């Protein structure tokens, strides 16, 4: 089986590239023989081959030749050179997908032969286990079929939203970078538990399930976060004492500033 009769190739099999590959395979969207990945790092490719059985190559042109959907997952400052290397062998039969933060669709369209469809996406690392969040924006040549292909691909990795390209830097600031913020919060909550005498293992389990449960509850009920917070804060109780500390420490302002900083930085990665 392959995906809508399309083979998928990934150029750049680092943190995000390999998370997507493993996510597609885990979702059963395609078989290893229908996927190919290239990278500069032979060790990373060999490990990917060993653990997934997909095709690997050090030659980016081989990815273009053997795939209908080409996902660019190199670092933003590596995109333009990579693109120049393979652009002339990309045709209107391909769909080009970029996950690179900050690199505009017009940069791709400028280098590619005219008429090639480009879709820019911002996924995140939980795609690895099918719990990703991906936002996608369509290039000027991308049609309904291309959108459906990209939505089907990334739906296998979690939730998908279509947005305007101008919104993608802010998307990066929340869901692209967010896993790093979430694990810092998780680790710090667990540290708090350890300080209060719990084992690290118990403290982390409590923190993780609390984050999962709370997020799932907001997702399932669409309850306003403030209303859930109010229900947890018993009058004169323990939660409001903790909330007071968080407000004094400026946690909300810090998180807003973190998203703002990541969004701005994303816009500079061109």
Q: Give the binding site for ligand NDP (CB under 6 A).
A: 11-12, 14-17, 38-41, 44, 60, 73-76, 78, 82, 99-101, 122-125, 176
Among 52, 60, 117, 172, which residue interacts with ligand A1CAB (rule: CB under 6 A)?
A: 172
The residue whose Cβ lies closest to ligand NDP is: 14
117 binds ligand A1CAB (CB under 6 A): no
Please identify, among the stretches 22-30, 46-54, 170-178, 196-204, the one whose residues bind ligand A1CAB according to the rule CB under 6 A: 170-178
Which residues does the annotation place in the binding site for NADP(+)? 11-16, 73-76
In this structure, the dihedral spanned by the alpha carbons of residues 163, 168, 174 and 179, taken in order and rounded to 10 degrees, is 100
Tell me the C-alpha distance between 84 and 105, whole Å. Answer: 15
Nearer to ligand NDP, 41 or 110 (CB): 41
Residue 249 Cα to chain centre, angstroms: 30
HEC per residue, 129-196: HCCEEEEEEECCCCCHHHHHHHHHHHHCCEEEEECCHHHHHHHHHHHHCHHHHHHHHHHHHHHHHHHC
Nearer to ligand NDP, 146 or 169 (CB): 169
Nearer to ligand NDP, 78 or 162 (CB): 78
What b-and-e string marks burial along 14-53, b requiring 16 or more CB atoms within 10 Å of the CB? eebbbbbbbbbbebebbeeebbbbbbeeeebbeebeeebe
Decide: 83 and 20 in contact? Cβ < 8 Å: no
Please identify, among the stretches 38-46, 154-162, 172-180, 235-243, the one whose residues bind ligand A1CAB according to the rule CB under 6 A: 172-180
Q: Which residue has the tokens 């690199």?
A: 103
176 binds ligand A1CAB (CB under 6 A): yes
Strand, coil or helix: 105: helix
Strand, coil or helix: 116: coil
Least distance from ligand NDP to the Cβ atom of residue 3, Å: 20
Least distance from ligand A1CAB to the Cβ atom of residue 41, Å: 18
Among 54, 101, 103, 112, which residue interacts with ligand A1CAB (rule: CB under 6 A)?
A: 101
Chain residues in the site for ligand A1CAB (CB under 6 A)? 101, 172, 176-177
């Amino acid at each position: 089986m392959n995906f809508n009769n399309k083979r998928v190739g990934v150029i750049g099999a680092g943190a995000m590239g390999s998370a997507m590959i493993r996510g597609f395979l885990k979702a059963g969207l395609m078989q290893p023989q229908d996927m190919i990945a290239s990278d500069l790092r032979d060790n990373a490719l060999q490990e990917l081959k060993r653990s997934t059985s997909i095709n690997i190559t050090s030659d980016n042109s081989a990815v273009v030749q053997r795939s209908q959907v080409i996902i660019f997952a190199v670092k933003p400052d590596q995109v333009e050179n990579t693109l120049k290397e393979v652009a002339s062998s990309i045709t209107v039969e391909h769909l080009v997908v970029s996950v690179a933060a900050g690199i505009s669709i017009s940069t791709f369209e400028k280098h590619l032969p005219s008429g090639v469809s480009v879709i820019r996406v911002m996924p995140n690392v939980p795609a690895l286990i099918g719990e990703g969040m991906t936002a996608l924006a369509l290039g000027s040549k991308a049609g309904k079929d291309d959108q459906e292909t990209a939505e089907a691909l990334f739906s296998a990795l979690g939730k998908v939203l279509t947005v305007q390209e101008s919104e993608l830097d802010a998307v990066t600031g929340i869901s692209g970078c967010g896993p790093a913020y979430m694990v810092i919060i998780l680790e710090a909550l667990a540290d708090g538990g350890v300080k209060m005498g719990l084992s690290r293992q118990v403290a982390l389990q409590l923190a993780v399930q609390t984050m999962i449960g709370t997020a799932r509850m907001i997702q399932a009920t669409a309850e306003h976060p403030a209303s859930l917070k109010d229900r947890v804060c018993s009058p004169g109780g323990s939660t409001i004492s903790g909330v007071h500390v968080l407000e004094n420490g400026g946690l909300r302002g810090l998180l807003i500033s973190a998203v703002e900083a990541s969004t701005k930085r994303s816009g500079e990665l061109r």
